Structure 1
């Protein structure tokens, strides 16, 4: 069974895996497969082993398991331990081996050139905290013995709080490959920042952290009352940038979930945070359990920015009962978990909404019309099974509808998505 690493930017997204791999000298003391679980990415762990106090992690592209092209399955090795000499002995940098003990250059007998890389190429691989131990040009012959396909093999070494680590990889040295490798290196040497309210989420260049902070003096009468702030910490310089804050609703509450998910085709994953807080005061609404708010943030050139439209789509609310004696649910807040949000993002209903498509829904039972997505704001109007309505908006499991009467009168209002078969 493979141990998979988080999808989305190839090697750099092995960050969580690396923190486990580098954080323990005994990480691979057990029999394979790797004794930990990690999310999915474009790389997978082909093998992981411990050899004389040295940890050896081999990653290969996940999407090419059946490829017969050896160049599609070039490995990346991450070797760590307490003793640098032992690590270097395992890696075995030796030009006679074409490339080292861990990486064998494909079809070495056909090479046109195997040489030390130029100073300009080495300059491109400069990375704070890392020493370039070796860099080789690997060039194959093309037609009529001109230069053909080429690789660049790199081996770099760094010192971390846990000891030493060496990374060895051969790639085509295109801009994307260089950037991915350098971001992977940055993640390895990044010190995990403090995150009190929820475990930090690793990104390609830093981490999202969740920490408690004092409320502004004009919002709190108790100095012990805390809110939760969301910040991005840059791995390169430690700079912290605020992303947003979670609402203080008479109590701090907690981070129910925080995760990345793709909300738009061909776009970078967005940050989603679900905040949950117990209901302490009499609100006039029979809430059962906690009250939830969903927050969505888009990655931009200037950092993560709150996406108001998507945040409102998932919305806020809690389960509501008719009365506390019967606990009969009259409304269920649909987005309490990461799984619920991801399922909605993958649904046809969401994709139609995101694309701005015209959506016509059919009422499936006698349904009251509300003036807003709030149960208390019910009107005297209602719809009956078979009525056709136009979707004009969606929020927290409610749909804003436009209904045309047989006489052509337009009626607008809100109904629950479940009364339309979903929205």
Structure 2
């Protein structure tokens, strides 16, 4: 199961950080934004979301032949400048939201992209898969990918706690099912903006040393956005060092008196830095 999940993550990361090249086929210049409402920057410039022709490999049986392209459209010269192509994962996906937000004296374009979660990843996903892309507006007016922001908000889908869900079903409990062990936290504009002003985010942006205290028994996972019935866990009061952050998960190190340094991933909500 873990091997399948790692393969899935590697495939996605490879797809995202490959160099995107828009189709060379002749295309009529247009400012029509068909995949999400255009974002007006001023009276001469728009961010538009359009279909870009895409040929899938022959081994894929799919009715879709496009990906979603993000472009800067300059109305005064009828010029479309590519910003990015959204990943193709079993389909073209959907722009859930897109907005400009001023952050650290710079305008940043945030795009929340949603795609179907893979059915063969070996993980009990209970939601679509979400991605948060971020692009800094440069002094020349073009938008460039901000990989540090992308890594922080990360990629994620809700993951079901199968034993707990099955227990609820067996006992006829009247609760919302399935029960999630992990819920991807950045599905909305409001959640992203709130995070940008959080203490944890600012410490991470400033490359500060981050320490955290465990609030409750929490299982150590080998990968983020994954939930396994592992025997490794931390308990309330344990002190950890945070080494990385993505999608609401913390890569931590814990100094164990007998076993030395223990490493793993835990959900941020189980620590005092995300309460």
How does the TM-score come out when normalised to structure 2?
0.76
- Secondary structure, aligned partner of 2:34: coil
Contact map agreement 1:214 1:223 (CA 8 A) in 2: no
For 1:399, which of 228, 250, 259 is the aligned residue? 250
Deviations for 1:203-238, whole angstroms, at most 9, x for unmatched residues? Answer: 145111101122234375546432111111123312
Measure how far apart 1:295 and its partner are.
0.6
Contact map agreement 2:213 2:238 (CA 8 A) in 1: yes
Measure how far apart 1:377 and its partner are.
5.8
Partner Cα separation in structure 2 for residue 349 and residue 280 of structure 1: 31
Confirm or deny that 1:360 pairs with 2:199: no
- Where does 1:10-159 land on structure 2 (aligned, <5 Å)? none
**What corresponds to 1:21 in structure 2?**
none
Q: Size of the alignment, in residue pairs? A: 231
Q: 1:280 to 1:315 in 2, by over 3 A?
A: closer
**What corresponds to 2:55 in structure 1?**
216
Partner Cα separation in structure 1 for residue 255 and residue 269 of structure 2: 20
For 1:257, which of 78, 97, 103 is the aligned residue? 97
The runs of 5 or more residues in structure 1 that have no matched partner are 1-191
Partner Cα separation in structure 2 for residue 378 and residue 238 of structure 1: 56
Confirm or deny that 1:305 pairs with 2:144: yes
Larger Rg: 1
- Secondary structure, aligned partner of 1:244: strand
Q: 1:375 to 1:261 in 2, by over 3 A?
A: same
How does the TM-score come out when normalised to structure 1?
0.51
Measure how far apart 1:404 and its partner are.
1.4
Confirm or deny that 1:274 pairs with 2:125: no
Partner Cα separation in structure 1 for residue 222 and residue 216 of structure 2: 19
Contact map agreement 1:214 1:224 (CA 8 A) in 2: no
Deviations for 1:95-131, whole angstroms, at most 9, x for unmatched residues? Answer: xxxxxxxxxxxxxxxxxxxxxxxxxxxxxxxxxxxxx
Partner Cα separation in structure 1 for residue 118 and residue 205 of structure 2: 36
- Secondary structure, aligned partner of 1:372: coil
**What corresponds to 1:319 in structure 2?**
158
Measure how far apart 1:284 and its partner are.
2.6
For 1:198, which of 2, 23, 36 is the aligned residue? 36
- Secondary structure, aligned partner of 2:236: coil
Measure how far apart 1:241 and its partner are.
1.1
- Secondary structure, aligned partner of 2:57: helix
Q: 1:391 to 1:207 in 2, by over 3 A?
A: same
Partner Cα separation in structure 1 for residue 258 and residue 207 of structure 2: 28
**What corresponds to 2:11 in structure 1?**
none
Q: 1:215 to 1:335 in 2, by over 3 A?
A: same
Q: Which has the higher contact order (CA 8 A, sep 6+)?
A: 2
**What corresponds to 2:226 in structure 1?**
375
Measure how far apart 1:309 and its partner are.
1.5
Partner Cα separation in structure 1 for residue 102 and residue 198 of structure 2: 12
Measure how far apart 1:273 and its partner are.
0.3
Measure how far apart 1:360 and its partner are.
0.8
